[in-house]
């Protein structure tokens, strides 16, 4: 089990699952183990719910890494 990421308020969940899948695969290809990749993907997907639409709110790597460091 990998815990989810809590966000203050979800604006739009459109594309969050796709964001998770893409982030997870990207981290696996980069060499992360499945648990580390899932943790990163959970944060990316959670952050993607903070804006409207399926593409515009997708966070970049630096944003995800800042959130992971919190």
Q: Residue 63 domain-assigned?
A: yes
Domain count, the chain: 1
- Residue 8 is predicted with a pLDDT of 87
Q: Residue 19 domain-assigned?
A: no
Model pTM score: 0.92
Q: Residue 51 domain-assigned?
A: yes
Instruction: Quote the domain boundaries for residue 58.
Output: 33-70
Q: Residue 10 domain-assigned?
A: no
Q: Residue 58 domain-assigned?
A: yes
C-alpha neighbours within 13 Å on the C-beta side of residue 56: 6
d(CA 19, CA 45): 5
- Residue 6 is predicted with a pLDDT of 87
Q: Residue 14 domain-assigned?
A: no
32 annotated active-site: no
The catalytically annotated residue of 12, 18, 33, 60 is 18
pLDDT in tens, the chain (70 residues): 888 888 888 999 999 999 999 999 999 999 999 999 999 999 999 999 999 998 999 999 999 999 999 8
Q: Residue 27 domain-assigned?
A: no
Q: Residue 57 domain-assigned?
A: yes
């Amino acid at each position: 089990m990998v815990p989810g990421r809590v966000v203050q308020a979800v604006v739009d969940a459109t594309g969050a699952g796709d964001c998770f899948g893409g982030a997870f695969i990207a981290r696996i290809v980069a060499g992360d183990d499945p648990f580390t990749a899932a943790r990163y993907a959970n944060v990316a997907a959670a952050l993607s719910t903070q804006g409207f639409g399926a593409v515009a709110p997708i966070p970049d790597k630096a944003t995800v890494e800042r959130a992971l460091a919190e």
